[in-house]
Amino acid sequence: MLSWLAGWTKGPDVGVAGALFPTYRKRFPAGRVDLGAVYNPADHPGPNAVRDTYWVLLAEDNGTPSPEPPVPRGQERPHPNETCPAWVHNQYVATGPDGKSYPTWHPQIDPVYWCYHRHEHGSDPKHFSTKQPPLFGYVAAAHGMDEVHQGFKNFVFDNADGHRWMVTHHFGTAGLARACNRFHTVGIRVCRASDGLLLADLHFMGDFGRAVVNSTQEPLTPPSCPNQSAEAQADGSTGIRQLPVQSAAGSVLYEPWRTDSRGNVLGLTGTLTINEQDAIAICNTAVCDQQVVTGKSGSLRIFTTNDGFGLAAGGNTGTFYTDALGKRLVNKGEAGAVQQYVGPGVRLSPRYGHYWDVDAWGRPFVFAASGANPTNREGSLGTPN
């Protein structure tokens, strides 16, 4: 018996395909339950260690069904394993610095009604702080843009120096508008892991430069923005979006977007790269006038720090306000003003390299892991995501 089952009660054997398998029982209160590892060298010492894959059988406590959760009067009742009604999704909101309400993170499977929202937003912000939910659309609204809700993705990760980061980025892969849209939401929050003290809270429209074919670097020329690459280069942008293209030799589902952080007044240095590896739709050719549906879920991402990425407090500390690009100081209350915060004396530098989503259930990304997992749990994701 596996060591982690020591506190469980032996149950009757269960027959499957002519073989009998032992069962073990244990009652748990409501909430998250962590089970033991499939492979534990302590359970199987020596050169012939095995991996005991187990099944999990679930039942209501004492055979008594749980009462159905209440539904507000006049609203459609959600059904488990089906798409959630809009009112369930619309409950997930957070208040921005401007006092307005914005959509925020939610799990892809609603924990109350067990219905599917059909999209996901990456890491659960509770792993960063219960008091700092991300704001989906705050800085985009200040920039005069309306970004598709499903494209907001969250990345929570711990650094080796005792700091915890939460990066929010807009990155949808279900349509081809991303070949033209150069600026996308970036939110960066950092806290002290030991006590949750907020050290930085930044919001800006990241400059992701020109869009090119990922395998050849040929500029994309969509009908609605045929000169997008030349315009970004004329502005001196070093950002880039490398998109998969079906017709290009060597093109694969590998879509890194890199920011151009130069000229910001936020104290940011270096660059970030967000990489999507299973886009829902890609370009047909470099002209990118037709989308090719891949059958993927758009949920396999990698987060990478580049070029000395970090944050160094300069002359702008405490609470201050900038334009939506984070490049110009403005006054509080001015049209398009975005609230920023950097703690005095803060110097932050996450480890250089890749952070992977190895859990795929909303937990933090892991530095230098061996690979990521798409997060299409129970086949709950749809288009867009």
pLDDT at 32: 81
DSSP letter for each residue of 316-327: --EEEEE-TTSS
CA-wise closest residue to 257 among 214, 294, 307: 214
Residue 134 clears pLDDT 80, i.e. is over it = yes
Using CB atoms within 10 Å of the CB of residue 355, give its burial: 0 to 12 exposed, 13 to 18 middle, 19+ buried. Answer: buried
Neighbours of 141 (CB within 10 A): 19
Name every residue whose Cβ is closer than 8 Å to that of residue 33 and which is 6 or more positions away in sequence: none
The mean pLDDT of 314-341, rounded to a whole number, is 97
pLDDT at 38: 73
Residue 192: helix, strand or coil by DSSP?
strand
Backbone φ and ψ of 322, nearest 5°: -135, 175
pLDDT at 362: 87
pLDDT at 245: 97
Where do we find the tokens 């020329």?
221
Neighbours of 43 (CB within 10 A): 16
Q: What is the DSSP letter of 76?
A: P
Give dist(CA 224, CA 217) in Å, integer.
20
Say which amino acid occupies 277: Q
Say which amino acid occupies 316: N
Please, which residues bridge with residue 190 across strands?
165, 200
Question: What are the counts of helices (DSSP H) followed by strands (DSSP E) for the chain?
Answer: 3, 20
Residue 41 clears pLDDT 80, i.e. is over it = no
Neighbours of 1 (CB within 10 A): 11
**pLDDT tens sequence across 289-303:** 999 999 999 999 999
Say if CB 338 and CB 321 are below 8 A apart: yes
Residue 243 clears pLDDT 80, i.e. is over it = yes
Cα 265 to chain centroid, rounded: 26
Residue 49 clears pLDDT 70, i.e. is over it = no
Residue 211: helix, strand or coil by DSSP?
strand
Q: H-helix or E-strand containing 232?
A: helix 228-234
**pLDDT tens sequence across 154-199:** 999 999 899 999 999 999 899 999 999 999 999 999 999 999 999 9
Residue 228 clears pLDDT 80, i.e. is over it = yes
Say if CB 140 and CB 147 are below 8 A apart: yes
Work out the pLDDT band at 43, boundaries 50, 70, 90: low
Say if CB 135 and CB 369 are below 8 A apart: no
The mean pLDDT of 33-57, rounded to a whole number, is 72
Which of the pair, 47 or 373, is modelled with greater confidence? 373
Work out the pLDDT band at 9, boundaries 50, 70, 90: very high
Neighbours of 11 (CB within 10 A): 12
CA-wise closest residue to 143 among 112, 186, 175: 186
For every residue of 270-289, which 3-state class applies, written as one string?
A: EEEEEEECCCCEEECCCCCC
Backbone φ and ψ of 306, nearest 5°: -130, 160
Task: Locate 223 and state its tokens.
Answer: 């009908």
Q: How many residues does the chain have?
A: 385
